[in-house]
Amino acid sequence: MSKIKTAFTLPTNEQDARARMALLTAAMDRARPLAEQLEKLMAAKDEYRTALAEAEHINANLDAIKLADWERRVDEFKIDSVKPTEHGDSHLLRGFQVIGTHKGTPFAQSLYNGDRAMYAALAKVEHMIPAHIRAWHADANESLLKAYRFKQLGYVAA
């Protein structure tokens, strides 16, 4: 871009001055829309850079955001007890109900419903997980997921 000129040669008579003013007015009329568009583009450039920086910041912290969201979902569950619903037989595993509150509302759900947030909340109180299910894996959450898979395969009487 060129610098703005600030030293001008003045016309020597009125006719030359009016002719020069007409040329300058035409030049300003041609340049005005472009200058306005340039201002909008400059503002858009700043807005773009701000949005890009914020998107990069969110992306860099996305794992922490997901983890915090997951922990909130798990903390919404308060497990009071796990009670048997079926005794099973020689071919089927016993069914269980998980009793507690979710977001303050009482619930009673099958242990085999596949709700990973409920499983994570139940894994925090390992002593409530039925012993035979808990014995399936060293990780409490994995043993609950294994119980869910067994239910899907038809091995559970619930």
37 with 102, same domain: the answer is no
Label residue 88 by pLDDT band (50, 70, 90): low
Q: Please name the residue that has the structure tokens 């409490």.
A: 140
What whole-number percentage of the chain has pLDDT above 90? Answer: 65
| Nearest CA among 74, 83, 92 for reference residue 130 | 83
Residue 19 lies in a domain: yes
Residue 20 CA to residue 131 CA, distance in Å, equals: 97
**Residue 111 and residue 90 share a domain:** yes
What residue numbers bound the domain in which 19 lies? Answer: 14-60
pLDDT one-digit tens code per residue, 32-66: 999 999 999 999 999 999 999 999 999 999 999 99
Of residues 88 and 133, more confidently modeled? 133
Q: Are residues 88 and 122 in the same domain?
A: yes
What's the token pair of residue 157? Answer: 């009487």
Q: Are residues 85 and 145 both part of a single domain?
A: yes
The model's pLDDT over 114-150, given as tens digits with 9 standing for 90+, comes to 899 999 999 999 899 988 888 888 899 999 998 888 8
Give the count of domains, the chain. Answer: 2
Question: Is the full-model pTM beyond 0.75?
Answer: no
Distance of CA 7 to the CA centre of its chain: 58
